[in-house]
Chain A
Amino acid sequence: MKTNESDKYIEFDAKLDKYLRGEMTEEEEKEFKSLLESNSDLQERASITALMIRTMRKEDVQQNKQMIEDISSMSESEFRRVAGLKPKFQIWRKIYAYAAAACIAAILFCGGYFVSQQSMQPRLANALAGEYIAYVNLDQMITRGGDAAVELEAISKAIQDGAELPQVIEKLTEMHEEALGEYASDYEQYVDQIDWLLSMAYLRNGELKSPKPYLKGIIDRSPNSELAVQAKSLLSQL
């Protein structure tokens, strides 16, 4: 019996909550009001609950009032600090942000330029080799005769074809050292041609810096030669 009474109140309290929260339809509200009118016990229960809610709500209102007063007396930066918000984006921060963005852009630009230069280097070197390689007078070398001349002719052809360049460079380097060594060598008379071909081999191999000492050597040794004129012209472009 008591359980039934408890259930009745649980059910009524749920209805009362629904009413107080404004969640009833017009029909439900009408039904609820007629229930109150017909039952004084439930009417009293509803009134006491309503008074209790109002009393409790006063705490909220009082607290809200105090907090709103506190907030309204705060500056925005103070409010941001108290509310745990991010600080305002100040002008100096903007300047720093722009400066940082500019630095990043510069780094990207320079980096990009460097990378593009790096990627362009082999193509440029190859193009220079193609342009200058014809200046070695092979006919004149052959006329001078000798195994060295035949060897250089074969090397020149290999450079033009771009074949086995590392081996070609190694061979020409040996020839260069032998030509300028203490002992007499067949390569001595062709030292400028060897250095020129070595420069061409490096360029064909995509290296722009390596030819420089060999080209300077040609200019120093034979400043008035046609090869020295070409070496100066090529050096100016490296």
Chain B
Amino acid sequence: MPVVPSHIYQPKDVETCFRETRSKAITMLRNTFNMSYSQAEDIYQDSCLAMYQNIKRGMLDIKKMTSSLSTYLITVCFRQASKSFRNVTHLEDISAPEFQESKIDSLLNDTYLKKESVELMWQIVHELPDPCGSILWYYYGKNLSMAEIAPKINFNGADSVKAKKSNCLSRLKKFYKDQLSTILHDNED
């Protein structure tokens, strides 16, 4: 079985992360705030430095971070841009809101917090076959929208991805339940 597709979730160094975030942030700022390239670049630069200062001062608590560093940086860019362009408030347009830890907690009872359950899920998500692997990692791991995922996996639009994602979740659920019951049964023996 294949592991997590490397093109989706390969470990990144800081340089790669910033290189990818830079073009994304500048494009989003220009499209949202209708600003020039140099204005967007200045805002990106100020935001990077603000983030750097926060990290140096220990103000960025990794445990409380609910998004990737890239998403966090883009959020800072939008806040900076909103300050400069006060008449425009598009913070909600940055990207889909992140999944909230408190909501995730509310759905996990003791069964799903067991060591075996957690380890099994880790193994399964790292061995998902495509296209389910790509869809689920892009959607839940990288917080991309269905429309963004479609061209990446050669699907015909967001609705196709939505239907396939649901199907993938059904298969994952079945596989997970079967595997977990086997493990728990073996442990009982």
Contacts and interface: CB of A to CB of B under 8 A. Distances in A.
A13 B166 contact: yes
B98 to A, nearest CB: 7
Do most interface residues of chain B lie in helix, strand or loop, or is the interface mixed?
Answer: helix
Interface of A: 6, 9-10, 13-14, 19-23, 44-61, 63-68, 70-72, 74, 76, 79, 82-86
Contacts of B27: none
Contacts of A58: 122
A76 B176 contact: no
A9 B122 contact: no
A1 to B, nearest CB: 15
B99 A53 contact: yes
Contacts of A65: 62
Contacts, number: 142
Interface string B133-173: 00011001100000000000000000000110111011011
A67 B69 contact: yes
B87 interface: no
Contact of B62 (A19, A22, A61, A79): A61
B166 A10 contact: yes
A47 B14 contact: no
B3 interface: no
Given A44-B177, A67-B69, A55 B60 contact: no
A58 B52 CA distance: 23
Given A9-B166, A67-B17, A20 B22 contact: no
Contacts of A48: 112, 121, 169, 172-173, 176-177
Given A20-B99, A56-B140, A68-B69, A13 B55 contact: no
Contacts of A70: 13-14
Given A10-B162, A20-B99, A56-B141, A51 B121 contact: yes
A57 B122 CA distance: 11
B141 A71 contact: no
A30 B43 CA distance: 41
Given A45-B169, A64-B62, A71 B14 contact: yes
A223 B162 CA distance: 108
Nearest to A66: B11
6 contacts: A48-B173, A50-B103, A64-B68, A67-B17, A76-B52, A83-B22
A83 B62 CA distance: 20
Contacts of A9: 166-167, 169-170
